[in-house]
Amino acid sequence: MKRKVLAMLMALALVFVLGACGEPAEDGAGGDAPAATTDDAGGFVQGVTDDRVYIGNTVSTSGALAPVGVPFQAGINAYIEMVNSRGGVHGRQIVYIHYDDEWSPERGLAFLDGLINDDEVFAIVGQFGTPIIGATFRTLVETGIPTVYFAAGTGVVYNENATDGNGRNTFPIQPVFPMEGRVFAAWAAGTFEAERIGVIYTSDDAGEDLIGGIRQEAAVIGGLEIFAEQVAPGADDVTAAVASVLGNDVDVVIIASIQGTFSQIANELANQGNTAPTLTTYVNVDRTQVDLVADTVWGQYDIFGSSWVDMSAAELDEFQEWIAVVSDDEAFLTSSFAVTGWIAMHAFVQGLERVEGELTWASFIDAMESAPVANPFGSAIDFSNGSRVGTQDLALWRLNPDIIEGWEPHLPFMSMEEILAR
């Protein structure tokens, strides 16, 4: 049964991972990929035959993170099923090998080594979760294996000038916190006409990356004063930080933290009489967070969150058709986590389709940079000139506890230039 949902730009929020059980997934081929070679032009090749291309990842699809990992992997499988049923890409079927890292950086790194050196896959698609990415990113860069989609906002993947040997083989799709922070500064100045910006950020990677992006773009825009206070992740008492920020008569407040601290900050802002519009990361654009703050916030000040996935997009019908082929779980039909697995594969396949002639790591990377990569549920990502900053065009949603989704559209997808022009 197919269902459409209100245009909810759901976040692939959780800087979490997905997985399956430490063995190759059923659709994997563990071990029968072709040996690595070098083509006539000197391009490195592995995991490619005349009729197959092998990809892999590690995602924890068992245990506590299964509610995230299982639908994410279902989205990957659904897109592969669709492509393979139509003859593959340039006559090649996609073979997907998956391992369960059980949310362990050590296991994630060990399995990545196996995927690259034993299974000899052509590419990694859907590297998932801040701890795993943190443990494996250097290996990905050093080996040069094409890596499409990082399911986390971690700034470790952020690179404005990637070069060979320095991340040119990596392609972040979903928003990356430093980039999102830059967009926050643009919204503050361009949409809310702010000159004084208050920021409450957490002393973790998410908070540090967000405040870094805010400060970077504020310096470019000019004329903005930043009043920032740091709190510990999960802090129960944020009274002093909130009081300090509000004491500066700020025009806009930015809550630069993910779930676990967002609600404490939002509620304390209400308790101290905040009326300034408040921005927060896409990670918090979720009904569960609305329920934690609605009683104190609603009616006193507005909270706006960024989003990058439009679940009302035209491709939803096709997605639902194929997700039903690989899973009988009806919840996956409207799962933003399943959609993001679909988005990851959609980006990878675009690269494959663009390659003319020999498929090598070098030719694939060139193809990904040759034109913006479309996101069927959002805006395109431009990887040209070494840009590895994730989605740059974001939409803005407004918290509204009176509707089922908890968030309603406020502004459509826009670039920073478009935001500032308003």
Question: Which residues of the chain have a pLDDT value below 70?
Answer: 1-43, 64-65
* 3-class secondary structure, 339: helix
Q: 49 CB contacts (<8 Å, ≥6 apart)?
A: 34, 92
Do the Cβ atoms of 363 and 331 come closer than 8 Å? no
Do the Cβ atoms of 57 and 124 come closer than 8 Å? yes
Give residue 129's pLDDT: 82
Distance of CA 252 to the CA centre of its chain: 25
Distance of CA 169 to the CA centre of its chain: 17
Q: What is the CATH number of domain 178-307+394-421?
A: 3.40.50.2300
Q: Which of 400, 377, 366, 419 is nearest to 290 (CA)?
A: 400
SS (H, E, C) 268-287: HHHHCCCCCCEEECHHHCCH
Q: Tokens 């459409």 appear where?
A: 4
Integer Cα distance of 39 and 42 in angstroms: 5
Give residue 405's pLDDT: 86
Residue 209 token pair:
């990356």
Do the Cβ atoms of 209 and 155 come closer than 8 Å? yes
Give residue 274's pLDDT: 98
Give residue 25's pLDDT: 45
Measured between its terminal Cα atoms, the distance across the chain in Å is: 41
Which class in CATH covers the domain with range 37-175+311-386? Answer: alpha beta
Give residue 34's pLDDT: 62
Give residue 38's pLDDT: 59
* 3-class secondary structure, 362: helix
Give residue 92's pLDDT: 98
Residue 71 token pair:
């639908």
Q: What angle do CA 315, 153, 335 make, to 5 degrees?
A: 35
For β-strands 93-99 and 394-399, DSSP reports them as unpaired
Give residue 44's pLDDT: 82
Residue 328 token pair:
């009988």
DSSP assignment string, 225-273: EEEEEEE-TT-S--HHHHHHHHTT--SEEEEE--TTTHHHHHHHHHHTT
Q: Which of 27, 108, 29, 120 is nearest to 65 (CA)?
A: 108
Phi, psi of 202 (to 5 degrees): -90, 155
Other beta carbons within 10 angstroms of residue 247's beta carbon come to 11
- Burial of 361 per CB tally in 10 Å (0-12, 13-18, 19+): buried
Taking only the tens place, the pLDDT of each residue in 350-407 is: 999 999 999 999 999 999 999 999 999 999 999 999 999 999 999 999 999 999 889 9
Do the Cβ atoms of 345 and 375 come closer than 8 Å? no
Q: Which of 227, 225, 234, 180 is nearest to 203 (CA)?
A: 234
Strand runs labelled E in 44-158? 44-45, 52-58, 93-99, 123-128, 147-151
* 3-class secondary structure, 53: strand
Give residue 311's pLDDT: 83
Strand runs labelled E in 299-406? 303-307, 394-399
Which 8-state DSSP code applies to residue 34? P
Taking only the tens place, the pLDDT of each residue in 63-102 is: 766 777 889 999 999 999 999 999 999 999 999 999 998 8
H-helix segments, 276-393: 287-297, 316-326, 336-354, 361-369
Q: Which of 182, 189, 391 is nearest to 307 (CA)?
A: 391
Please, where in the chain does CATH 3.40.50.2300 lie? 37-175+311-386, 178-307+394-421
Other beta carbons within 10 angstroms of residue 421's beta carbon come to 10
Give residue 168's pLDDT: 98
Q: Tokens 């995991």 appear where?
A: 47
Q: Tokens 């003319």 appear where?
A: 356
